[in-house]
Amino acid sequence: MRLSISTRLIGIAVVTTLALLPLFGYALSRAFLASAESSFDRQIDAYLLFLAGRLDSTKDGDIVFSRQPGDDRFEQLHSGWYWQVSRGGKVQETSRSLWDETLAPPQASPREPVDLRGPGDQALRGATLELTLGGLAEPVNLLVTGPRQQIDAEVASFNWLLVRSLGLLGLILVVALVAQIRWGLAPLRAMTEGLRQVRSGSAPRLDVRLPSDLSTVARAMNEVLAHQEELLERGRSVAGNLAHALKTPLATIRMKIDSLDDGHSLRADVAQIQRIVDHHLTLAAAAGRASGPSRRSALGESIEPVLAAVRMLHADRHIELRAELPPELRVAVDAQDLQELVGNLLDNAAKWARTRVDLRATRLGDDVLLSIEDDGPGIAESEREQVLSRGLRLDEQQPGSGLGLAIVKDLARLYRLQIAFERAPLGGLGIHLRFPGVPPP
């Protein structure tokens, strides 16, 4: 299955958005984590320098603080905010929040942030500083920590907000991209609709009032259409001239045959040639109408005269001809060609019918389905494809030249109609013609 251009572009936009937004979100999350850790580390470093500036020793070699930080968190039990002073591997002083616990000094450079574990396997982040106090032979190690959970909570809150924001942004981007793609491809849809109108005869040419890159294409297609019409006009003119050129010699031949004693067989041959000439004249005219811009007809109004003619033609056989033709149905076929088409089919059905022929038109989506059914003997499935062959008659007992259904085939080809055969519910042959519909005016 080939995907449309809009589906492909929308698919690419959605995949790209779904791929890039998580990467963008991950980068933002890592950047926020680094920022949160940096802010936390500055706070730890400030407490570390504050305590280091107020650390002193007594004459007895004891370590004292001239002033402790005025932060209640260092007083709350197991708050994660701890300070500890040690010398020679032995803890000398701790914050009240540690109570009777101690921290294992981490192996890190001075003032370098480090993660460590505290009481109850509590996740901490802190820094150390080594000091030399007057009167003490050994250096003093000062450690300050804070709860790692504070950083993790900020990052988790940010990530949740980030996920919701990126999700909303992704939805907005996808909707905007879909709208942009549909708006950008609108001229292509307009060109497609224009081609449909040209094909159905609603418009003679494509509208070139399109974006510059598409208007060039539309002009080129209009030139192709004009060239095609020119070639068709030439072919129609040649066929018409040839048929008209043959009429006079044929008339002369008929006059000479009339003077012969036994000209019956020759008359039949000349009549056959005359029918062929008339057939090509009909097709030449139909080709011109089929390529014109105004090939549209009201189905019921166009077929009514045909129904009257067929009833009169077969009046001696008392064939019942029923018709259901909704007046609102219109088809993209010239009225004269429609009458020629339906007339040949109805005449053929009446020839084979025993008592009844049904003609029915229904809407099928945007199209119109015309069904002609009879109660005659029908045609074997293996022979149905031969019905429209030029000059071929499956029963030589029936009158006619065999050209009527060939005309049906040629007209159907000109108007791109679909023809299907089946066994009718009445028992005979059912013929179904599918016409391109025309919206009501």
91 belongs to a structural domain: yes
Long-range pairs for 166-175: beta carbons < 8 A, 24 or more residues apart: 166/21, 166/22, 166/24, 166/25, 169/21, 170/17, 170/18, 170/21, 173/13, 173/17, 174/13, 174/14, 174/17
Same domain, 337 and 261: no
Domain boundary among 290, 309, 328: 290
**Maximum Cα–Cα distance for the chain, whole Å?**
162
Say how far apart CA 157 and CA 153 lie, in whole Å.
6
Domain boundary among 200, 226, 250: 200
CATH of residue 281: 1.10.287
What total of structural domains would you count in the chain?
3
pLDDT at 160: 96
pLDDT at 401: 42
72 belongs to a structural domain: yes
pLDDT at 290: 53
Same domain, 246 and 112: no
Same domain, 83 and 218: no
CATH of residue 390: 3.30.565.10
pLDDT at 394: 39
194 belongs to a structural domain: yes
Same domain, 108 and 231: no
Domain boundary among 200, 229, 244: 200
Same domain, 285 and 343: no
Same domain, 188 and 131: yes
Give me the domain span that covers residue 411: 297-435
Give the tokens for residue 12.
């690419």
Same domain, 60 and 18: yes
Contact 74, 97 (CB under 8 A): yes
Q: Closest by alpha carbon to 340, among 263, 403, 257, 386?
A: 403
Give the tokens for residue 306.
């045909």
pLDDT at 61: 66
Same domain, 125 and 15: yes
Same domain, 325 and 185: no
Same domain, 141 and 53: yes
Say how far apart CA 93 and CA 81 lie, in whole Å.
15
Say how far apart CA 359 and CA 78 lie, in whole Å.
96
Q: What is the pLDDT along the chain (441 residues), one digit of tens a residue?
A: 678 888 888 889 889 988 999 999 999 999 999 999 999 999 999 999 888 888 877 766 677 777 777 788 988 999 999 999 888 788 888 888 998 889 988 887 888 999 999 998 999 999 998 887 776 778 888 899 999 999 999 999 999 999 999 999 999 998 998 899 888 888 888 888 888 777 766 677 877 778 887 888 888 888 888 877 776 676 667 666 766 667 777 777 777 776 665 556 566 666 666 666 666 666 555 555 555 544 678 888 999 999 999 999 898 989 999 999 998 898 888 888 888 889 989 998 999 899 999 999 999 888 899 999 999 988 877 776 666 554 444 344 444 444 557 778 878 887 888 888 888 898 899 999 998 767 655
Same domain, 4 and 77: yes
Note the pLDDT tens digit of each residue in 3-42: 888 888 888 988 998 899 999 999 999 999 999 999 999 9
441 belongs to a structural domain: no
pLDDT at 150: 93
Q: Which residues of 279-308 are buried (b: 16+ CB within 10 A; e: fewer)?
A: bbbbbbbbbbbbbeeebbbbbbebbeebbe
pLDDT at 368: 92
Same domain, 129 and 254: no
